[in-house]
Structure 1
Amino acid sequence: MAVTVVSIENLKAFWHSQVHDEEKWALNMKLLRATGLFAGSIFLMRSYGDLMAV
């Protein structure tokens, strides 16, 4: 099997490319908001779903 080594420099370069590029950052923020909304709605329904039942 091939052994891949992930160095700190590669991680820093990836982080820098994702955060400091405005187009990628905008897309990443949309994904983060969607994920947060999804997780929040699951939490809300699991915690208080019985109160919302009709």
Structure 2
Amino acid sequence: MAKSSISLEKVKEFWNSQTQNEEKWAMNMKLLRAAGLFAGSIFLMRNFGDLMAV
């Protein structure tokens, strides 16, 4: 079996470093909100854009 270059422990360590640190968590939440707003606006315009036309 091939040796994995990224171990599960490294992934857990990275996840904990991003979620346990308050400054990093705040930045990640801002990024998640922006991505969610962007995805939501794309979904809205693709499904209901013809209704918004003037």
Give unmatched runs, 5+ long, in structure 1: none
1:11 corresponding residue in structure 2: 11
Matched, 1:43 2:43: yes
- In structure 2, give the amino acid aligned to 1:25: W
Q: Percent identity?
A: 69
Structure 2: any 5+ residue segments left out of the alignment? none
Deviates more, 1:4-13 or 1:26-35: 4-13
Normalising by structure 2, we get a TM-score of: 0.91
**C-alpha RMSD of the superposition:** 1.2
Aligned residue for 2:22?
22
Size of the aligned set, in residue pairs, is: 52
For 2:16 and 2:4, locate their aligned partners in 1 and report how far apart those are by CA, in whole Å: 21
Detail structure 1 runs of 4+ shifted over 2 Å in the superposition. Answer: none
1:23, 1:4 → 2: CA distance? 31
Question: Following TM superposition, by how much is the alpha carbon of 1:4 offset from its aligned partner in structure 2, in angstroms?
Answer: 6.5
